[in-house]
Amino acid sequence: MTTSFQKELERLVDIEAIRTLKYRYAKLCDQNYPRQELMALFTDDAVWDGGIFGVHNGRKAIGDFFAGSAQAVEFAMHYIVNPLIEVDGDRAMGSWMLWQSVVLRENKNAYWLMGRYQDTYARIEGKWKFAHVTLKVESLTPYGEGPGKVLIAALE
């Protein structure tokens, strides 16, 4: 193997590991937001910035947020698509689109949620973790109205 081939192979392996991290995150969210398992995906000093859902600093605060989500959300299905991932050594950046159906536990109301993730990743002891997650919600629309009818920018 040539050095350039080895570097490209390592880059592709890193990208696949980051995709797997993001898909695991989505799967856990869809399995009622298990606090400990989700916390394990983040660095100790990670930030989860959900805009309208608040900013949560540090692994414990992120875990607390997901524990609250488990209480508030009866059903969620995250579709994470269109990844664009750039790796630079032990750091990486990623952008994703989110399409999510969600039912709230309290009132049984269903919504379509659409947004964009901007993530920063760090390789810690050989494993990729979230260092910073930013979710920009672009639409949150009652299910019966169909997707994309209530734009968040219009509400701000």
CB 143 within 8 A of CB 153: no
Strands 42-49 and 127-142: parallel
% of the chain residues with pLDDT over 70:
96
Q: What is the pTM of this model?
A: 0.92
In whole angstroms, give the CA distance from residue 122 to residue 130.
Answer: 6
Give residue 32's region: left, alpha or beta (phi > 0; psi -120 to 50): left
In whole angstroms, give the CA distance from residue 153 to residue 53.
Answer: 15
% of the chain residues with pLDDT over 90:
89
Instruction: Write down the pLDDT at residue 153.
Output: 56
What are phi and psi for residue 32, nearest 5 degrees? 70, 30
CB 41 within 8 A of CB 3: no
Q: Quick: pLDDT tens for 42-72.
A: 999 999 999 999 999 999 999 999 999 999 9
Q: What does CATH list as the number for 3-155?
A: 3.10.450.50
Give the start-to-end residue ranges of the domains of the chain.
Answer: 3-155
Residue whose tokens read 């269903």: 110
In whole angstroms, give the CA distance from residue 66 to residue 64.
Answer: 5
What are phi and psi for residue 102, nearest 5 degrees? -145, 140
